[in-house]
Structure 1
Amino acid sequence: YVTLTDESAATVTGMAFVNGTGEWTLTNIDISGLDEGTISVSAYAVDQAGNQSGATTASFTHDSVRPAVPTITGFSDDSGMAGDGLTNDNTLTLTGTADAGTTVEVYDGATLLGTTQADGSGDWSFTTGELADGNHFFVVAARDEAGNQSAFQDTFAVTVDTAAPGIAITTPISGDGLVNASEDGFFSVSGTAAGGQRVYVTVTDEMGASVDGVALVDGAGNWTLNGLDVSGLSNGELTVEAYAVDQAGNQSGTASETVSLDNVAPAATVITGFSDDTGTPDDSRTNDTTPTLTGTADAGTTVEILDGATLLGTADTDGAGNWSFTTDILAEGSHSLTARAVDEAGNRGASDSLNLVIDSTAPGITITTPIATDGVVNAAEDGSLSVSGTASGGQRVYVTFTDEGGAFVTGETIVIGSAWTLTGADISGLQNGTITVEAYSVDQAGNQSGMVSTPVTLSNTGPAAPVITGFSEDTGTPGDQQTADNTLTFTGTADANTTVNIYLAGQVVATGTADGLGNWTATTGTLSDGYSSFTARAVDGAGNQGGSSNTYIVIIDTVAPAAPTLDS
């Protein structure tokens, strides 16, 4: 018979039978109603005859309280991004807390991996064996010395990933394998990284200088590093190296490619001229709507020709750096042409400019008539003839005077506003008769107007010297050229139909016209008494004046003599 007594004297009793070897076992005794703590056990035996033995005692500790639920606080090595539950370490050390002194049982799912002991502070750690890649769901339970097991902690998930990601660099880098000055400050490299999360890129020049950057991998496994500044590296071959790191911290091998850095712009382009430079040389005006530009640039470069912001086309330089470019048809008006050299890497040099005016419209031209006021050029005019007109849009006017024998003289003048005048044309050497006056204008761009024409008559041969044959009234003694008449009428001969002027002391005192036979008369006004010397000169219809006639002396005496006296 067995009695179990707690410290409060509460008891539980039970009975067991002794087997043939003298052993007994009491099972399934319920002590849940007894207090926790020391339990005293007293047992005595009774034989078949009813004899009772003395009591034997013992004690044990009653502990039925389950330990607190343990925790997993972390693991190592937590490679990759901390706290993401990913690692490339397949032998993990789990750490956590539990009731001090308890045994911590570590499970991967339902599989017991092993146990460890919580120290006096309740801290514990457990290192697994080698784990397979994939997802692992760890749980732990604590068991105390009495064998009480705690509840299981919530699952602590860890993914083991020891597979390295892939890495590749897309070529050609920068689209053409060349990095120029417009690209070197914002260099881009792309590629793929299967399974990767980040890509680390290093660009190194031939001198060992380098720059680096980091790119993220998208969901499709592609990556692009933008904005890498390689402008400070040396020109020449650059080595681009990249490796990927996945979320678990696995690092790929290194991919390597090369690209050429050329960020030195070619020398400034020079526009040396254009053809056809019509009109005034070097005035940047032409009537050619498809001019050919010429110039110089670095040998081997391509020259871009622009009109404003519009690219007209390109020309390649020869080995000496010379280039030429013929435009398509350009519209009339001003064109701001520029030329710039582009090298193989795409670097653009400084531009040269040419402000070119295309003008293919011919100017207008007229001649003002009559020329020489009356359409007749005489001897007084033939050495310095003037011709005028208009020339809309013109710059210069070219005039030709041609006689009936084909002889000609030429002249040119400038246009002021829209008017022109040619002065000082000497046509005295041309034949008398009809002179054909032709004129055309040329504008600043070299456009030539149509020809205009008008006739003028050249008559520069003066008439013969007239002859004064007499006068009336020749009073007094006939033929003594003395007269008492102070209004004289001269008579004479001259070329038919000419005008005859009578001169006294250089002044015209009488005018007459020769008839068809050359006879003329001319009457003066009232003349002064005295000795007078008269001459005559003939003027023809063109205004040509002939030589002087003979000198004709006339003594005018209108004073009556004194009355005579008688002596006796």
Structure 2
Amino acid sequence: MSLSRYFSGNAEANAKIIVYSNGLEIGSVDANGAGNWSFEAGQLQEGTHEITAAARDAAGNEFALSSSTFVTIDTSAPTAPTITSSTHASNPTPAIRGTVEDGAGIKLTIGGATYTTTAADREWSIDLATVAPESGTLSLNVNGSNSISVTATDVAGNSSTPVTQTFTIYTANPFVTEVSVPADGTYKVNDVLQFTATVGENITVTTALVRPALPSSSIRGARFTRSTYRVLAPRT
């Protein structure tokens, strides 16, 4: 793809200005009576162009080239950003982070608010607890799912396709919805007692010395009766 560019300068009054790109003439224009001139380069191909100009007077004498101006034409969309932060959090205003090409601008939309930042060393991060949104008001579902959309814009102004993700926040403690315990009675050594707990969401269950246990709770030495038990445990 290609893109037109405008160049301007000052030279001898009414001189003809010859404009070059990478040493090749790409056009000319006449300066006005004050020596001012403006030139549209037409369609420049993608890549870096060294633009120079020289003035030619009415007698055909061409003066030395001007100093160089370097222009990079870039019409290609940047690679879409990634989101590397966890898709689950207990913090109601977490930090969202990811990777993208160096120097790209990031636009993050979440919970009705839009945030912007610039990537450094190919990484970007927006802390929802400390950064004010550029527009909108942040309103998150603090016990459920939230949609994230992230777009990258390179230094030339080209934007990537948006990357989306569902982000889930839990601020309420996990809970056991149902517990089944053995009947009251006397049991012999080596009898197998079965305790069944039904939890309201995914949690981590650890096994140590072949004794299953829910984290943050202990059943060793406890006496269970037919009742309802609530066990707090961290989520996966």
Partner of 1:228: 128
- The AA in structure 1 aligned to 2:235 is E
Contact 1:169 / 1:257 at 8 angstroms: preserved in 2?
no
Distance 1:187 1:340 in 2: 29
Equivalent of residue 157 in structure 2, options 243, 249, 254: 249
Q: 1:98 to 1:300 in 2, by over 3 A?
A: same
1:127 equivalenced with 2:17 (yes/no)? no
**Partner of 1:325: helix, strand, or coil?**
coil
Distance 2:24 2:40 in 1: 15
Q: 1:213 to 1:141 in 2, by over 3 A?
A: closer
Partner of 1:200: 107
1:212 equivalenced with 2:120 (yes/no)? no
After superposition, give the CA deviation of every residue in 1:353-411 in whole Å (9 maximum; x if it has no partner).
xxxxxxxxxxxxxxxxxxxxxxxxxxxxxxxxxxxxxxxxxxxxxxxxxxxxxxxxxxx
Contact 1:266 / 1:342 at 8 angstroms: preserved in 2?
yes
After superposition, give the CA deviation of every residue in 1:465-490 in whole Å (9 maximum; x if it has no partner).
xxxxxxxxxxxxxxxxxxxxxxxxxx
Identity, in percent, stands at: 26
Equivalent of residue 146 in structure 2, options 210, 231, 238: 238
* TM-score, length-scaled by structure 2: 0.67
Distance 2:158 2:204 in 1: 50
Q: 1:122: how far off? A: 2.1
Equivalent of residue 54 in structure 2, options 141, 157, 175: 141
Contact 1:184 / 1:231 at 8 angstroms: preserved in 2?
no
1:150 equivalenced with 2:63 (yes/no)? yes
**Partner of 2:44: helix, strand, or coil?**
coil
Partner of 2:93: 185
Relative contact order higher in (CA < 8 Å, ≥ 6 apart): 2
* Structural mapping, 1:305-344, within 5 Å: 315=214, 324-326=218-220, 341-342=232-233, 344=235
**Partner of 2:107: helix, strand, or coil?**
strand
Gaps (5+ residues) in structure 2?
130-136, 176-197, 206-211, 222-229
Distance 1:103 1:243 in 2: 45
Q: 1:134 to 1:303 in 2, by over 3 A?
A: closer
**Partner of 2:45: helix, strand, or coil?**
coil
Partner of 1:264: 172
Distance 1:94 1:201 in 2: 35
Q: 1:233 to 1:244 in 2, by over 3 A?
A: same
After superposition, give the CA deviation of every residue in 1:396-430 in whole Å (9 maximum; x if it has no partner).
xxxxxxxxxxxxxxxxxxxxxxxxxxxxxxxxxxx
- The AA in structure 2 aligned to 1:325 is I
Distance 1:237 1:261 in 2: 6
Q: Which has the larger radius of gyration?
A: 1
**Partner of 1:341: helix, strand, or coil?**
coil
Distance 1:303 1:257 in 2: 24
Q: 1:166: how far off? A: 0.4
After superposition, give the CA deviation of every residue in 1:221-278 in whole Å (9 maximum; x if it has no partner).
x3231412398412322111111112222211111111112223468xxxxxxxxxxx
Contact 2:2 / 2:46 at 8 angstroms: preserved in 1?
no
Say what the alpha-carbon RMSD is for the aligned residues.
3.5
Aligned residues: 191
Distance 1:214 1:102 in 2: 47
1:95 equivalenced with 2:8 (yes/no)? yes
- The AA in structure 1 aligned to 2:113 is S
Contact 1:169 / 1:256 at 8 angstroms: preserved in 2?
no
Contact 2:107 / 2:114 at 8 angstroms: preserved in 1?
no
Gaps (5+ residues) in structure 1?
1-87, 268-297, 305-312, 318-322, 328-338, 346-568
Partner of 2:188: none
Q: 1:167 to 1:326 in 2, by over 3 A?
A: same
Contact 1:213 / 1:225 at 8 angstroms: preserved in 2?
no
Q: 1:94: how far off? A: 0.8
Q: 1:315: how far off? A: 2.4
Contact 2:53 / 2:65 at 8 angstroms: preserved in 1?
yes
Partner of 1:381: none
Distance 2:204 2:62 in 1: 87
- The AA in structure 2 aligned to 1:185 is T
**Partner of 2:219: helix, strand, or coil?**
strand
